């Protein structure tokens, strides 16, 4: 038997991100920036910067009835060959869709995609205050591997200038 949130998530389509999705993707990204709890970014990048900074095979959106509810994408952490199988990811869910299983569906699709392409580690840095994101990641097989104290300062918003800690989380491939 499904809960209401699980039933809603079952109707959600996870598909590759397209250029046409950018207006909705960037709006969801901006929602995350505005919370002050999702990223160090101060502004949403232009499409060209986003596009060149993320690996094309691992960008997905969650869609329901033609509306993008969330997105995920990965970036290489290093150009060094030894780290070819390690990526850093982002996952954002629209405020109106949080708590409905969208983040879980996106992370499952991301894990399947990266494993198909030989990526053995997905990592993420999450603010300790972002408990919803931490719970989401732990439920999807990520582990907290460390705390990075005062790793960077916020550059904009109500927390501008404040040093922030992050938890470093990672998901290791089951294929290892």
pLDDT of residue 8: 55
Structure tokens at 135: 């719970």
Cβ–Cβ under 8 Å, residues 86 and 75: no
pLDDT of residue 144: 98
**Per-residue pLDDT at 1 exceeds 90:** no
CA distance 65 to 10: 12
Structure tokens at 167: 């938890």
Task: Report the percentage of the chain scoring pLDDT > 90.
Answer: 86
Pick from 34-38, 57-61, 155-159: least confident:
155-159
Q: Give the pTM.
A: 0.92
Structure tokens at 95: 């405020």
CA distance 35 to 80: 34
pLDDT of residue 7: 46
pLDDT of residue 50: 97
pLDDT band at 155 (very low <50, low <70, confident <90, very high): confident
Condensed to tens digits (0 to 9), the pLDDT of residues 107-120 reads 999 999 999 999 99
pLDDT of residue 160: 85
**Per-residue pLDDT at 3 exceeds 90:** no
Closest CA to 134 of 149, 119, 124: 124
Pick from 9-23, 71-85, 133-147: least confident:
9-23
**Per-residue pLDDT at 174 exceeds 80:** yes
Give the chain's radius of gyration (CA, Å). Answer: 16
pLDDT band at 4 (very low <50, low <70, confident <90, very high): very low
Q: Could you tell me if residue 150 is left (phi over 0), alpha (psi between -120 and 50 degrees) or otherwise beta? A: left
Condensed to tens digits (0 to 9), the pLDDT of residues 10-54 reads 699 999 999 999 999 999 999 999 988 999 999 999 999 999 999
Cβ–Cβ under 8 Å, residues 169 and 144: yes
**Per-residue pLDDT at 60 exceeds 70:** yes
Write the DSSP string, 89-142. Answer: EEEEE-GGGTTTTHHHHHHHHHHHHHHHTT--EEEEEE-TT-HHHHHHHHHTT-
CA distances to 26, 111, 145, 153, 160 from 156, rounded to whole Å, are 17, 32, 28, 9, 4
Identify the residue with better confidence: 33 or 176: 33
């Amino acid at each position: 038997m499904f809960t209401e949130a699980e039933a809603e998530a079952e109707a959600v389509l996870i598909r590759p991100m397209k250029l046409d999705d950018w207006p909705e993707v960037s709006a969801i990204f901006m929602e995350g920036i505005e919370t002050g709890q999702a990223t160090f970014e101060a502004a949403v990048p232009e499409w060209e910067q986003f596009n060149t900074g993320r690996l094309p095979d691992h960008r997905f959106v969650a869609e329901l009835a033609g509306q993008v509810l969330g997105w995920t994408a990965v970036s290489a952490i290093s150009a060094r060959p030894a780290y070819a199988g390690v990526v850093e990811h982002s996952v954002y869910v629209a405020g109106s869709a949080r708590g409905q299983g969208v983040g879980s569906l996106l992370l499952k699709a991301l894990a399947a995609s990266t494993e198909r392409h030989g990526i053995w580690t997905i990592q993420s840095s999450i603010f300790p205050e972002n408990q919803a994101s931490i719970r989401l990641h732990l439920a999807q097989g990520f582990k907290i591997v460390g705390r990075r104290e005062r790793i960077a300062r916020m550059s904009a918003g109500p927390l501008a200038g404040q040093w922030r800690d992050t938890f470093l989380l990672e998901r290791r491939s089951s294929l290892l």
